[in-house]
Amino acid sequence: MLKFILSKLLYLIPTMLGITLVAFSFIRLLPGDPVLLMAGERGVSPERYAEISAQLGYDKPLWQQYFTYLGDLMHGDLGHSIVTKKPVLAEFLALFPATVELAVVAIIIATVIGVPVGVIAAIKRGSWFDQISMTGALIGFSMPIFWWGLLLIIFFSGILQWTPVSGRISLMYFFPQVTGFMLIDSLISGQKGAFGSALGHLILPSVVLATIPLAVIARQTRSAMLEVMGEDYVRTAKAKGLSLGRVIGVHALRNAMIPVITTIGLQIGVLMAGAILTETIFSWPGIGKWMIDSISRRDYPVVQSGLLLIAGIVMIVNLLVDLTYGLINPRIRHK
């Protein structure tokens, strides 16, 4: 087991190296120049341009810039934002908990609803429930997030006034950030009503973010269940006279869960992509919005180090997912 984890971790190193190269060149391949974007309509004199470029190190050849970047990384220096002049890591750490909180709640919603819906749809294949839920999943999967988020805001926050429009907590609550997770910090603060307010603010954005993963998980669960339900051992279990609950819960679902868990793991990447739009609509101070702003301003250090951090986290989550297979199916337990 330990050997398995170590070998996986070893794989991370060349992958991360590859990501630094991709992130570094990707943002530089985009046309546009951070210094010109900063100067705007006013323009910048050639001397001033040269001065600023030299200060940022952009006058050197690209390969040299890349190796300087790698060298800094080895020292744990992820660079400074060109725009805010602040360290990239500090900005990331300030914003990351908000994204994690949103993503975790979203994936819980997607799993808790998606798996049962998939199971029922599979058992009652062809029923009205199956038809409606799978059509719903198709619509959910193709929903433009931006439009969907705004629609929910207008309906639930505007017309019904059930939920707040945007932000993480009502502005009347003000307490120090201990963990960065608003649900936890609001509890620690001990301020009355703070937790409820934080929860209320989470509902719409997490539902919006959960929409696509929910659709994918429901469909994946359904097809995995259908496949397993046709297996001999399930038929045997049924023939032995086991209750339907036991046949599904113990024999079928457990085996059907392997591809479903893979799917859930893969949704982490989807969540990161979805977070970009969701965070923008709901004024959610997370890393999605941060990356988008940095790309549009060609803030090279933020984009390259931010991508590296996000990719690293997605890979670690996927490694953890790999490990959970063993818990469910002893046959693929790593020795």
Partner 1 sequence: MSIFSTRFLAASALALMAAAPLHAKTFVYCSEGSPEGFDPAPYTAGTTFDASGHAIYNRLVQFKPGTTEIEPALAESWEVSEDGLTYTFHLRKGVKFHSNDKFTPSRDFNADDVIFTFNRQANADDPWHAYISGITYEYYSSMEMDKLVKSIEKVDDNTVKFTLNSPEAPFLANVAMPFVSVVSKEYADTLQAAGTMEDLNNAPIGTGPFKFVAYQKDAVIRYQKNADYWGEAPKIDDLVFAITPDASVRLQKLKAGECHLMPYPAPADLADIKADPNLKLDEQAGLNVGYLAYNTTVAPFDKPEVRKALNMAMDKKALIDAVYQGNAEVAKNPIPPTMWSYNAAIEDDKYDPEAAKKMLEDAGVKDLTMEVWAMPVQRPYMPNARRAAEIIQSDFAKVGVKVEIVSYEWGEYLKKSMEAGRKGAVILGWTGDNGDPDNFLSVLLSCASAEEGGANRAFWCNDEFSALLAKAKASSDQAERTKLYEEAQVIFKDQAPWATLAHSTQYVPMAKNVTGFVQSPLGDYTFETVDLAE
Spell out the alpha helix ranges (H) of 124-239: 128-142, 145-152, 182-189, 194-229, 232-239
Spell out the alpha helix ranges (H) of 230-299: 232-239, 244-246, 253-281, 287-296
Single residue of 12, 16, 21, 38 touching partner 1 by CB under 8 A: 38
Backbone angles phi, psi at 169, to 5 degrees: -160, 155
Is residue 291 within 8 Å of 275, Cβ to Cβ? no
Stretch that binds partner 1, among 35-43, 58-66, 131-139, 209-217 (CB under 8 A): 35-43
Size of interface with partner 1, in residues (CB under 8 A): 61
**Closer by beta carbon to partner 1, 201 or else 251:** 201
**Closer by beta carbon to partner 1, 170 or else 324:** 170
Residues 94-123 that bind partner 1 (CB under 8 A): 94-95, 98
Residues 278-317 that bind partner 1 (CB under 8 A): 280-283, 285-286, 289-290, 298
**Both structure tokens of 43:** 């323009």
Minimal distance, residue 42 CB to partner 1, in Å: 5
What burial class does residue 87 get, using C-beta atoms within 10 Å of its C-beta: 0-12 exposed, 13-18 middle, 19+ buried? middle
Q: What character string, x for contact with partner 1 (CB under 8 A) and - otherwise, covers 54-93?
A: -xx-----------------------x-xxxxx---xx-x
Under rule CB under 8 A, residue 33 binds partner 1: yes
Residues 144-183 that bind partner 1 (CB under 8 A): 150, 153-154, 157-158, 161, 164-168, 171-172, 174-178
Under rule CB under 8 A, residue 190 binds partner 1: no
Q: CB atoms < 10 A from the CB of 157, how many?
A: 15
Distance CA 177, CA 287 (A): 17
Under rule CB under 8 A, residue 184 binds partner 1: no
| Of 218, 221, 198, residue with least CA distance to 102 | 198
**Both structure tokens of 167:** 């932000």
Is residue 308 within 8 Å of 16, Cβ to Cβ? yes
Residues that bind partner 1 (CB under 8 A): 30-34, 36-49, 52, 55-56, 80, 82-86, 90-91, 93-95, 98, 150, 153-154, 157-158, 161, 164-168, 171-172, 174-178, 280-283, 285-286, 289-290, 298
